[in-house]
Amino acid sequence: MTVENEPETKEITKRESERDSILTYLAHNSNICFKSQQKWEKDLTVEEKIEIGLELFKNNKLQFLTKFGKYLKYSQLQYFRKVTEYDPNFQDIDIVLNNLLGASQENSHNVIIKNRRYQAMVKMIQETSYFSEIEMMKRNPLLYNQLIGQYLTSDEVKERDRYDKDSSFVKILMEGIERDNAEKVRQQEEEVEKYEMEHEDVSDEESDDIPQPSTSHWGEIVFNRKPQKSINIDHKSIFIKPEERKLLKDEFVTTMYESFLSGKDTDFDYETVDNNTSYDDMDEIDNDEEEKYFDSEEIDENCRAAESSEDELDAYMNTLS
């Protein structure tokens, strides 16, 4: 081997190593159908999947990207910039690759934002009152009353609304105003919901008595009744078991967590979290990045998606057009 050829040889070896790493990564993804099989046939081994992928890679890189590109990470997709420069299908590959890179980059950004919000939520649960029962009640008073509030006893309501003995007069005053506003919002939303349900009932009566899906809340279904204003809180509380109350409370808390993570808390400044790198957990980001490729696609047992490769390519190019 001449000295002049050494750099070129090293580059070829490096590219082959990157290629093999990509093939191994794909072979361990159970959502990918490498080959259409009958039910009675044994599942392909990792080695067999790698062999199938390698053959397609060597014969048609455009087809390879069309079939497997959506499962690859951003850094793995970049590899194809280096190995398709002189490919006869370069222009088509460039179009497909740009679309895949754009989608991957957007997904990566979403994963980062999701992770930051989760880390912020954990910290807020531990260090602030943002996810306390009172604060969550203020943000969604109607749902709170439907799942928790209406089943509290008088003593429990007093305990919930009890002020900290160290609270200042101003803090108590502002807290009272916020709770009054939350109660007004609850009453308004309750009136709107009542109005909508009454009109649904009228529509049901005019539909020749065809059974319709229930619009009742989970708690109302459990007890087979709608909340009545004439029933006091203490009376309602005797109709629900402790374990049922816990389920309802868990449902409320979970809904409030999901609201925050989805960016639906209108009074919260998400910029302070979404653009804050201090919330980054790199290990968690890497795990999320990998899992999204394993979980993003559902595949049926007959691998209908693995039809003729030419059909897949034509369909993909028509979509781009």
**Amino acid 176: pLDDT:** 59
Number of domains in the chain: 2
User: Is the pLDDT assigned to residue 282 strictly greater than 70?
Assistant: no
Specify whether the CB–CB gap between 236 and 219 falls below 8 A.
Answer: no
My answer on whether 257 and 133 are in the same domain is yes
DSSP state of 177: H
**Amino acid 167: pLDDT:** 53
The number of CA neighbours under 13 Å toward the Cβ of 41 is 9
Please report whether residue 35 resides in a domain.
yes
Specify whether the CB–CB gap between 279 and 116 falls below 8 A.
Answer: yes
User: Is the pLDDT assigned to residue 66 strictly greater than 60?
Assistant: yes
Q: Which of 294, 287, 246 is nearest to 118 (CA)?
A: 287
The number of CA neighbours under 13 Å toward the Cβ of 95 is 12
Q: Average pLDDT, stretch 164-179?
A: 56
**Amino acid 312: pLDDT:** 52
My answer on whether 136 and 248 are in the same domain is yes
Q: Of residues 102 and 321, which shows the higher confidence score?
A: 102
Q: Of residues 116 and 226, which shows the higher confidence score?
A: 116
Please report whether residue 119 resides in a domain.
no
pLDDT digits (tens, 9 = 90+) for 211-222: 454 444 444 434
Specify whether the CB–CB gap between 256 and 134 falls below 8 A.
Answer: no
Q: Which of 106, 124, 127, 128 is nearest to 116 (CA)?
A: 124
Q: What is the CA radius of gyration of the chain?
A: 29
**Amino acid 306: pLDDT:** 45
The DSSP line for 235-283 is HHHTTS-HHHHHHHHHHHHHHHHHHHHTT--TTS-THHHHT-GGG--HH
pLDDT band at residue 315 under the 50/70/90 scheme: low
**Given the structure tokens 């009542």, which residue do they identify?**
194
Element (H, E) at 59: helix 46-59
My answer on whether 90 and 185 are in the same domain is no
Please state whether the predicted TM-score (pTM) of the whole model is above 0.75: no
Q: Average pLDDT, stretch 255-274?
A: 93
Q: Which of 285, 313, 303, 321 is nearest to 35 (CA)?
A: 303
My answer on whether 140 and 254 are in the same domain is yes
My answer on whether 223 and 272 are in the same domain is yes
My answer on whether 159 and 222 are in the same domain is yes
pLDDT band at residue 107 under the 50/70/90 scheme: confident
**Given the structure tokens 């020749």, which residue do they identify?**
208
Q: Of residues 167 and 50, which shows the higher confidence score?
A: 50
User: Is the pLDDT assigned to residue 307 strictly greater than 80?
Assistant: no
My answer on whether 186 and 67 are in the same domain is no
Specify whether the CB–CB gap between 270 and 184 falls below 8 A.
Answer: no
**Amino acid 304: pLDDT:** 47
The number of CA neighbours under 13 Å toward the Cβ of 111 is 22
User: Is the pLDDT assigned to residue 8 strictly greater than 80?
Assistant: no
Distance of CA 271 to the CA centre of its chain: 19
My answer on whether 149 and 18 are in the same domain is no
Q: Which residues contact 1 (CB under 8 A, 6 or more apart)?
A: 9
User: Is the pLDDT assigned to residue 67 strictly greater than 90?
Assistant: yes
**Amino acid 180: pLDDT:** 65
Report helix, strand or coil for 132.
coil
CA pair distance 97, 92, nearest whole angstrom = 9
CA pair distance 177, 202, nearest whole angstrom = 38
Specify whether the CB–CB gap between 269 and 261 falls below 8 A.
Answer: no
User: Which range among 32-46, 82-96, 200-214 shows the weakest confidence by mean pLDDT?
Assistant: 200-214
Q: Average pLDDT, stretch 186-211?
A: 63
Q: Average pLDDT, stretch 243-251?
A: 92
User: Is the pLDDT assigned to residue 52 strictly greater than 60?
Assistant: yes
Q: Average pLDDT, stretch 177-204?
A: 66
Please report whether residue 3 resides in a domain.
no
pLDDT digits (tens, 9 = 90+) for 139-165: 988 888 889 988 888 888 888 777 665
SS3 content of the chain, % helix, strand, coil (to 5): 70, 0, 30
Burial of 298 (0-12, 13-18, 19+ CB in 10 A): exposed
Q: What percent of the chain has pLDDT over 90?
A: 34
The token pair at 191 is: 């009136």
Please report whether residue 265 resides in a domain.
yes
My answer on whether 35 and 176 are in the same domain is no
**Amino acid 319: pLDDT:** 53
My answer on whether 139 and 273 are in the same domain is yes
**Amino acid 248: pLDDT:** 92
Range of the domain at 51: 10-114+291-320
Question: What's the one-letter identity of residue 220?
Answer: E
**Amino acid 270: pLDDT:** 94
